[in-house]
Amino acid sequence: MTRAQQTISIALLLTSLYLAVFTEVIPFPEKIQKEIVPVIPFWALISFGSYLLFKLGWGVFTFNDVPEAHKELMGQIQQARAELKAKGVDVGED
């Protein structure tokens, strides 16, 4: 099973469970059913967004901790500048 298939399977399972709870096929106490269940999708979306922002921030924060990737990226930048200069594009020097 590929990672995409696994992700889709998990998403379908969670969606099915949520719909079963939301339509009261799986009963919960009334307070939970009326106050918590309707906001679960918003909570999940906000949590997922927060997780992705954390991952992005952590990647930026720890970028210098990967010297090989830094060297490779700087080499690619120099190569791109050289190719653009050869085509007559002014790229400016730092």
Distance from C-alpha of 33 to C-alpha of 35, rounded to nearest angstrom: 6
At 39, the pLDDT band (50, 70, 90 cuts) reads very high
Q: What is the pLDDT of residues 40-64, one digit of tens each?
A: 999 999 999 999 999 999 988 887 6
Task: Give the tokens for residue 21.
Answer: 């709870």
Domain boundaries, the chain: 3-63
Indicate if the alpha-carbon torsion angle 11, 13, 16, 21 is positive or negative.
Answer: negative
